[in-house]
Chains A and B, each alone.
Chain A
Amino acid sequence: MTLLKILWKSLWNRRVTTLLTIASIALSVTLLLGIERIRMGARESFSNTISQTDLIVGGKGGTVQLLLYTVFRMGSATGNISHETFEKFSRHGAVQWVIPYSLGDSHRGFRVVGTNEKFYEHYRFRQDKRVTFSVGQAPVDVLEVALGAEVAEKLGYTLGQSIAVTHGVTDGIGLLNHDDKPFKVVGILDKTGTPIDRSLYVTLEGLEAIHMDWKDGAPPRKGEEIPAASLRREDIKIGQITAFLVRTKNRFETLSLQREINTYPDEPLMAIIPGVALSELWSVVSYAEDGLRIVSWSVLIVGLLAMLIAIYTSLQERRREMAILRSVGAGLGKIVLLLVSEAVLLTILGIGFGIAFTYSVLFVLQPLIEAKFGLLIPVRALSPLEWVFLLAVLVSGFLIGLVPALRAYRNSLADGLAVRFAIPLLILLFPDVSQAASKTPQVASSVVWLRELAREVTCGGQGIELLPALAAAGTDPHSYQLTPRGRMQWSKADLRLVIGEGFESWNEKSAGPAQKLFTATKGLNLRKVDEAGDAPALEAEAHGHAHHHAKGISRFDPHIWHSPRLTREVALNLYNFLVQKVPAKRMEWDACMRQFVQKTKAAEGEIHKKIATVPSSRRVLATNHDSLGYFADAFGLKVITIAGVSTEAVVTPGRFRRAIEAIKKEGVRTIFVESSSSPETVQKVAAELGIKVGGELHTDGLSAPDKPAGTILGLWESNAETIVSGLKP
């Protein structure tokens, strides 16, 4: 069992928070990697729009413009190239193949490209993918057309359909249509994810043919049209094309050919290298890329902050753990190591899960994304850049782990071996926010004592609303009947405080959900009430009052308010219960909680001193009702209780006699009356034995607030006072 095992167990103990922290880091990492992948995919798709083409040749103009209209089918051409020039360069010794493009017409916003069979043969994108047909074939005849996948899909065209080409590039239906010479769809291309999908493909002759009878860019006049039926491919002479793509035989010849074209004397030509032009174009749009990066880093920072908060919060709750480790000899170095390893471990797990998650998502989504967006996101090993990112995440995790670790170091120096109450970070930072988040809970108490206790530990009811106790001060809580108003208040309250152990018999059915209920006697080491036995019967038998209800006779003494120790325990439990509901008040309440504990200890000490003034042989408490057992235990008094004097229990002559005997045997000179029981029997016994009645003891809770026994401490003090003055010789 090493430090690592302690760490593991501690993390497992906090597994929900731990898992959430890991998940938040994993999601951040997924997003970071995912966005990086999309960025790379976009970039690669972009630069792979055209492959294996060494030069793009067009009329003189802008580099980007040429790239846009040839490859991306955007914008318009700057000039044309004569067919002779094209022929000349296609026969050039350095050239392996050429693909001519004739552009300028459109159909419903999609460009129409005039080209020849070389296009279907040689054109490549994404390294080595060629243009293929999903149905049909390449256009051969003059008035045949093949459709890009997107065109066919958007317009819903099928094979054999006739379509008209619009002169110029217009969206929708053009004004100047070549209606007289409609094209017949003979093929539909496979989806490529490139601009190829957004064009229609005809032969060079086809484009030449529809413009043959046009003059100066205007349609032919009536009677001057050349009828479509008379067009034959062999007869058409191609005058001009817009651009052409060149593949050289040898890459080294590319540059010299480029120079040759650029300086071609007969026509103003321009040749560009696609790769260079593409990266030039990409740099124009790179701000979008940077934007994506900023987003992913922001996400990551949020994820790491979540980890900081998680560790920091848990740290505050773990001050005790730290103190324990310190006490068994762990140095501060080990504490720091423990916390830093925790952060690093969580980060590593987060990164691991993030990578796994990224790849599984990619694996599932890659075909979908490619089909939908034509974006191929590469599924391959992490790139060096991605490793750098992940390393940066890890280092940030380490640094973030240092923050709580150093904090723990400082705490540990300040705390020493004292066990502190924890203060969550969020509450330190945003006390008002966390307070505003939840409304003030209404707290109902069954008896005044509980209400008083709640008041004490919450600094007079700060952060909670204390409802009046159901059984008002000075009344007998045993015989309390729930009034309709009380019932409403009770069921409406957010939190309910009860004594338990059958003390509140009316509450048995209406206890409500456990997380809203605080039972004071729960978890305490209570005094047993042995109602069956004979010997302790003197003390216990009489205690059969209201706790004996129809069902379930309580076996434990619920009168915990007479014990300073139990009062402190209940106060601490109540504090913990309430802090869970109102965590924002922890710090304030903490101080009051401590004060209260000190107060009770001081009072306890005073009472001890007072009792000590009574000779020890006289420290016998004879009463008619056994509810001061805890008090007697706490202050070293012996108890004799007269059996059956309680309001609801039956007197048996035998036990009555035994009580009398015990009183005689102990030489008791004073007998006390308990507040909630009838004094008559006591008076009778006192008269019979010739002893005095020592005054009234407050037993079943607090009396009215203005009386001495109206507070938690006052109850003990006034009972002690009564007992001491009654017992003193």
Chain B
Amino acid sequence: MNSSGAVLEIQNLTHAYQAGTPILNVEEFKVAKGEMLFLHGPSGSGKTTLLSLVTGVLPVQSGQVSVLGQPMSGVSAARRDALRAARMGYIFQVFNLLPFMSALENILLPLQMSRVKAARFADSQDARNGAKSLAERLGIDHLLGRRADELSVGQQQRVAAARALIGSPELIVADEPTSALDADLRESFVKVLFEQARSQNCGVLFVSHDKSLMPLFDRSVALAEINKVMKGKEQ
């Protein structure tokens, strides 16, 4: 199934929250290994739904989705959760962090959820060191002890990036992670994220409506072009 070395392969995927009104209809979509892909589209074009399907949070209703060579369609929720926990990282638009935990604890969260990610480190001390060096490279090492809700939005997003990166995932899915940031912070956020992702040979699927970031990516795709539901509407 994973002949092409793609981290994400979608075929004939459709999704509807209410029967009869599909929100998503994607014939074909691929992300190559280690590729930085920019997926853009206006609000309401089904971006978050697509990401929920890709990460296995929502069950695939029809069509094929395979992530990192594993099928997301037709498998149990537990298997999808396990795959997400073990081999993916996720960054939200805002409110990425559990507010009552420190930045460091937030970064280490994926290691609690996945033995695969935890196994990248010898022990918990090693994991903390790993989190610290990641934080250092993201420029947030001085904030690790702070409670997440004391951080600025920009700092929170960097902590979220560190959380997504820890434990060497192969695909990071980011849902408009820069939309709450200032223009100058946006670019530096994306750059530092890429730098770390590249060093881990980790692909990034980055969704945004802000096209100014597009030049930073290997490739960009308009969701409106691949989502036939949207196409129909625009015409």
Select one of B55, B81, B88 contacting A331, CB under 8 A.
B81
**A419-B52 Cα distance, complex, nearest whole Å:** 12
Question: Does any Cβ of A come within 8 Å of B145's Cβ?
Answer: no
Across-interface contacts of B152 in A (CB, < 8 A) = 525
**Contact of A327 with B95 in the complex, beta carbons under 8 Å:** no
Q: Return the CB mask of A7-18 against B: 1 if under 8 Å, else 0.
A: 001101100000
Query: From residue A39, how far is it (CB to closest CB) to chain B in Å?
Result: 43
Q: Would you list which residues of chain B between 72 and 87 have a CB under 8 Å from chain A?
A: 77-78, 81-82, 84-86
**Contact of A329 with B92 in the complex, beta carbons under 8 Å:** no
Across-interface contacts of B109 in A (CB, < 8 A) = 325, 328
Q: Return the CB mask of A205-240 against B: 1 if under 8 Å, else 0.
A: 000000000000000000000000000000000000
Interface size on A, residues (CB 8 A): 35
**Contact of B57 with A633 in the complex, beta carbons under 8 Å:** no
**A58-B10 Cα distance, complex, nearest whole Å:** 97
Query: From residue A417, how far is it (CB to closest CB) to chain B in Å?
Result: 5
Question: Does any Cβ of A come within 8 Å of B9's Cβ?
Answer: no
Question: Does any Cβ of B come within 8 Å of A680's Cβ?
Answer: no
Across-interface contacts of A325 in B (CB, < 8 A) = 98, 109, 113
Q: Would you list which residues of chain A between 570 and 623 have a CB under 8 Å from chain B?
A: 598, 601, 605
Across-interface contacts of A321 in B (CB, < 8 A) = 98
Across-interface contacts of B94 in A (CB, < 8 A) = 419
Question: Does any Cβ of B come within 8 Å of A1's Cβ?
Answer: yes
Select one of A9, A13, A332, A417 contacting B55, CB under 8 A.
A417
Query: From residue A673, how far is it (CB to closest CB) to chain B in Å?
Result: 28
Query: From residue A1, how far is it (CB to closest CB) to chain B in Å?
Result: 6
List the B residue with the shortest CB-CB distance to A412. Answer: B57
Across-interface contacts of B85 in A (CB, < 8 A) = 328-330
Question: Does any Cβ of A come within 8 Å of B43's Cβ?
Answer: yes
List the B residue with the shortest CB-CB distance to A10. Answer: B100
**Contact of A329 with B81 in the complex, beta carbons under 8 Å:** yes
Select one of B95, B100, B108 contacting A419, CB under 8 A.
B95
Q: A9-B100, A13-B99 are in contact. Are A331 and B77 (CB under 8 A)?
A: yes
**Contact of A324 with B96 in the complex, beta carbons under 8 Å:** yes
**Contact of A6 with B93 in the complex, beta carbons under 8 Å:** no
Q: Would you list which residues of chain A between 309 and 340 have a CB under 8 Å from chain B?
A: 320-321, 323-334
Q: Return the CB mask of B51-69 against A: 1 if under 8 Å, else 0.
A: 1100101100000000000
Query: From residue B222, how far is it (CB to closest CB) to chain A in Å?
Result: 14
Question: Does any Cβ of A come within 8 Å of B41's Cβ?
Answer: no
**Contact of A9 with B113 in the complex, beta carbons under 8 Å:** no
Question: Does any Cβ of B come within 8 Å of A428's Cβ?
Answer: no
**Contact of B57 with A10 in the complex, beta carbons under 8 Å:** no
Question: Does any Cβ of A come within 8 Å of B182's Cβ?
Answer: yes
List the A residue with the shortest CB-CB distance to B104. Answer: A1
**A442-B96 Cα distance, complex, nearest whole Å:** 34
Q: A2-B112, A10-B98, A328-B85 are in contact. Are A525 and B182 (CB under 8 A)?
A: yes
**A330-B55 Cα distance, complex, nearest whole Å:** 12
**Contact of A417 with B48 in the complex, beta carbons under 8 Å:** yes
List the B residue with the shortest CB-CB distance to A419. Answer: B95
Question: Does any Cβ of B come within 8 Å of A392's Cβ?
Answer: no
Question: Does any Cβ of B come within 8 Å of A418's Cβ?
Answer: yes
Question: Does any Cβ of A come within 8 Å of B183's Cβ?
Answer: yes
Q: Would you list which residues of chain B between 123 and 172 have a CB under 8 Å from chain A?
A: 152, 163
Question: Does any Cβ of A come within 8 Å of B97's Cβ?
Answer: yes
Q: Would you list which residues of chain B between 102 and 131 have a CB under 8 Å from chain A?
A: 105, 108-110, 112-114
Query: From residue B168, how far is it (CB to closest CB) to chain A in Å?
Result: 14
Select one of B49, B58, B110 contacting A329, CB under 8 A.
B110
Q: A324-B96, A324-B98 are in contact. Are A1 and B112 (CB under 8 A)?
A: yes
Question: Does any Cβ of B come within 8 Å of A3's Cβ?
Answer: yes
Query: From residue B169, how far is it (CB to closest CB) to chain A in Å?
Result: 10
Q: Would you list which residues of chain A between 391 and 421 have a CB under 8 Å from chain B?
A: 412-414, 416-419
Query: From residue A524, how far is it (CB to closest CB) to chain B in Å?
Result: 10
**Contact of A417 with B52 in the complex, beta carbons under 8 Å:** yes
Question: Does any Cβ of A come within 8 Å of B213's Cβ?
Answer: no
Question: Does any Cβ of A come within 8 Å of B101's Cβ?
Answer: yes
Across-interface contacts of A6 in B (CB, < 8 A) = 98, 101, 112
**Contact of A418 with B52 in the complex, beta carbons under 8 Å:** yes
Across-interface contacts of A3 in B (CB, < 8 A) = 112
Select one of B58, B110, B114, B209 contacting A416, CB under 8 A.
B58
Across-interface contacts of A334 in B (CB, < 8 A) = 113
**Contact of A12 with B100 in the complex, beta carbons under 8 Å:** yes
Across-interface contacts of A320 in B (CB, < 8 A) = 95
Question: Does any Cβ of A come within 8 Å of B35's Cβ?
Answer: no
List the B residue with the shortest CB-CB distance to A634. Answer: B183
A-side interface residues toward B, CB under 8 Å? Answer: 1-3, 6, 9-10, 12-13, 320-321, 323-334, 412-414, 416-419, 525, 569, 598, 601, 605, 633
B-side interface residues toward A, CB under 8 Å? Answer: 17, 42-44, 48-49, 51-52, 55, 57-58, 77-78, 81-82, 84-86, 88, 90, 92-101, 105, 108-110, 112-114, 152, 163, 175, 180, 182-183, 209
What are 12 A-B pairs at a CB distance below 8 A? A1-B112, A323-B92, A326-B81, A327-B90, A328-B163, A331-B81, A412-B57, A413-B58, A525-B152, A525-B182, A598-B44, A601-B43
